[in-house]
């Protein structure tokens, strides 16, 4: 069983949209070196190709990576006008701050499949120009299901708890699924 959105749900509609809306044709993929980024990027390459885009670079960095200068130089040299980020946590924050300070936000838009409210707070608004995120839930989403989730969460845990985000929403769904399966 899987809860939360899948890479296909996140990228199949988004890559063609970004290519059309922002005239993106050359993509660079950067992620941490483990199965989730590699599997996500394998699908992304299919969506890029089917939408008429071109892959101009792909790299995977250790989870401990904190210095992205050489990666940023490769992205700049590649001529990419779109960058798919499959970095997590502090690595994503460090990369995106460096990306903006390197001036790459003027060359290429960025899309992250794991950039949620807490990561964005770490990146900061000043470093988020041309940064997009794709997720199944955002705290300010006003659909009936999202509103009900937020109300139920705040009723159970209060309004001073951690910022709701797609990770918390998926974990909540997972626990509800587990409880339902256990009760059956």
pLDDT 10s digits, 10-44? 899 999 999 999 999 999 999 999 999 999 999 99
pLDDT 10s digits, 90-137? 999 999 999 999 999 999 999 999 888 888 889 999 999 999 998 877
* CA atoms of 52 and 17, how far apart (whole Å): 12
pLDDT 10s digits, 64-100? 999 999 999 999 999 999 999 999 999 999 999 999 9
Residue 181 binned pLDDT confidence (cut-offs 50, 70, 90): very high
Partner residues linked to 32 by β-bridges: 61
Q: What is the pLDDT of residue 114?
A: 87
Q: Given a cut of 90, is residue 141 above it in pLDDT? A: no
For residue 161, the SS3 value is: coil
For residue 75, the SS3 value is: helix
Q: Given a cut of 70, is residue 162 above it in pLDDT? A: no
CA distances from 55 to 82, 115, 131, 150 (A): 10, 22, 19, 39
Going by their DSSP bridges, the two strands 131-133 and 109-112 should be labelled as parallel
Per-residue H/E/C for 93-150: HHHHHHHHHCCHHHCCEEEECCCCHHHHHHHCHHHCCCEEECCCCCCCCCCHHHHHHH
The pTM assigned to this predicted structure is: 0.86
Mean pLDDT of 155-178: 78
* CA atoms of 112 and 47, how far apart (whole Å): 15
């Amino acid at each position: 069983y899987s809860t939360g959105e899948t890479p296909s749900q996140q990228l199949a509609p988004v890559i063609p949209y970004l290519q059309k809306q922002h005239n993106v044709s050359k993509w660079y993929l950067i992620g941490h070196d483990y199965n989730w980024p590699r599997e996500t990027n394998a699908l992304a390459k299919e969506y890029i190709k089917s939408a008429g885009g071109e892959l101009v670079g792909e790299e995977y960095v250790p989870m401990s990576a904190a210095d992205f200068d050489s990666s940023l130089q490769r992205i700049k040299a590649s001529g990419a006008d779109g960058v798919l980020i499959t970095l997590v946590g502090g690595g994503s924050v460090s990369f995106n701050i460096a990306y903006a300070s390197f001036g790459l936000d003027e060359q290429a838009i960025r899309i992250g499949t794991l950039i949620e409210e807490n990561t964005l707070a770490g990146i900061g608004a000043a470093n988020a120009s041309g940064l997009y995120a794709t997720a199944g839930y955002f705290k300010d989403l006003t659909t009936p299901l999202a509103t009900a989730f937020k109300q139920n969460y705040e009723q159970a845990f209060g309004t001073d708890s951690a910022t709701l985000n797609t990770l918390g929403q998926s974990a909540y769904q997972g626990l509800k699924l587990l409880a339902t399966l256990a009760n059956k």
